[in-house]
Amino acid sequence: MHFTLMLFEGTEDFAARKDPEKQQEYLAGWSHYVHALRDSGVVVTGFGLHAPETAATLQRNDGTIFVQDGPFTETKEQLGGLFVIDVPDLDTALEWAARAPVNAVEVRQNLPAM
C-alpha cells in the first residue's frame, strides 16, 4: 500500500537550512533518515520543498483568481517535504513517520493511481 508522509517543519527548521552554523547538523539529520528509508527499500518517491515564503498560492474567489506570495495557510509548522512509501499497513507507515527528524508528520494512504 502506498502512504504519503507529509513532513512539517517549524520556522527554526527552515531557518537552519540557511544558517551556516546549523546547516550541517540540519542536513545530516535528513540525509541519515533518507538513507535509512532508501536502504529499507520502501521509498516510491520523495523530495524536500523550498521554504514556504517562496511559495505562490492561487485562490479562486467567486470565479476570480487571486495569486498571493507565501503559503496557503500561515501556520507555524509548514510542509517541508514529502515521501511516498510502499509498506504493508498504516502501523508500519507510522513507524517510519516516527523516525523523521521533525516534530509533525501527517500520514495518509494514497488513492490508487488514475
Partner 1 sequence: MDTYQTIENTVRDSYGRIISYLAVNWRDDEAVEDALADALVSALESWPKKGIPDKPEAWLLTVAKRRLMDRVRRERVSERAYMALLAMSEEAQHMESAAFPDERLKMLFLCSHPDIDPSMHTPLMLQVVLGIDAARIASAFMVKPSTMGQRLTRAKARIRSERLTFEMPDLAELPKRLDAVLEAIYAAYGSGWDDLAGDSRRRGLTDEAIYLGRLIAAHMPEEPEAHGLLALMLHCEARSKTRRDEAGAYTPLSEQNPSRWSAALMAEAENALHAAARLDRVGRFQLMAAIQSVHAQRARTGNTAWNEIALLYEGLSRMSPTLGVLVGRAAAVAEAYGAQEGLRLLEAIPSGTRGSYQPYWALAAHLHREMGHVEEARAAYRLAIGLCEDHAVRQFLQQRAMEI
Question: Is residue 101 close enough to count as binding partner 1 by CB under 8 A?
Answer: yes
Q: What are phi and psi of 47, to 5 degrees?
A: -165, 160
29 binding partner 1? (CB under 8 A): yes
**C-alpha dist (Å) from residue 26 to 20, 51, 70, 106:** 10, 14, 23, 20
> In a 10 Å sphere around its CB, with 0-12 CB exposed, 13-18 middle and 19+ buried, how is residue 112 labelled?
exposed
Q: For partner 1, which stretch binds (CB under 8 A), given 8-16, 51-59, 65-73, 88-96?
A: 88-96
From 9-17, 28-36, 48-56, 78-86, give the range in contact with partner 1 by CB under 8 A: 28-36
Which residues make up the interface to partner 1 (CB under 8 A)? Answer: 25, 28-29, 31-37, 39-40, 90-91, 94-95, 98-99, 101
